[in-house]
Amino acid sequence: MAEGFSGRQAAEIVGITYRQLDYWARTDLLRPSAADAQGSGSRRVYTYRDLLELKVIKDMLDAGIKLGSVRDVFDYLRRQLDADIASAHLVVSGGSVVLCNGDELLDVVRNGQGVLNVLPLRTVKADVDARIVELRQGAVVRTDGRASTAEAV
């Protein structure tokens, strides 16, 4: 069985607040693959792939992409990309996102925009893996710089 991560663990690993994670799940930006909440008292369980996608979402938002455009990008990537999303490369500039798919550059938000910043998604895997190791060691450093005790996995 694949390993799962609670919502709190997923938020800490990715570097977002639990409130953001909850909002993204409730608005269908990214619902957990292992187990979705089924009402009061139930818990969401995120897979490793979910963590990678959550980190990509966070990185795009940090790069200045608006949440609506992030939704458009993920809709496009899920429809068009055969490989794992974390294996792709996105070029980000202002509100524009271009997918580098092999030797093709595909503008997934709008056409005709110049590109300046490359966001290599393979670093997402390394970042998530490092945070999982920290979690396993008993403490995860939160994005505000304070240490917190991690839940048992």
How far apart are the C-alpha atoms of 44 and 34, rounded to whole Å? 8
The pLDDT tens digits of the residues spanning 75-96 come to 888 777 766 676 777 877 777 7
Residue range 96-100: mean pLDDT, rounded: 77
Which domains, from first to last, does the chain contain?
A: 5-149 (1.10.1660.10)
pLDDT at 124: 85
Kindly give, in sequence order, each residue whose CB lies less than 8 Å from that of residue 71, ignoring residues fewer than 6 positions away: 29
Band (pLDDT 50/70/90 cuts) for residue 114 is very low
pTM of the model: 0.65
Bridge partners (DSSP) of residue 148 are: 140
Residue range 95-124: mean pLDDT, rounded: 64
pLDDT at 141: 56
pLDDT at 144: 58
> Comparing 31-35, 72-76, 114-118, 122-126, which segment has the lowest mean pLDDT?
114-118
Residue range 14-30: mean pLDDT, rounded: 93
Ramachandran class of 74: left when φ > 0, alpha when ψ lies in -120 to 50, beta otherwise = alpha
Checking if the pLDDT of 117 tops 90, the result is: no
Q: Exposed, middle or buried: residue 108 (CB in 10 Å: 0-12, 13-18, 19+)?
A: buried
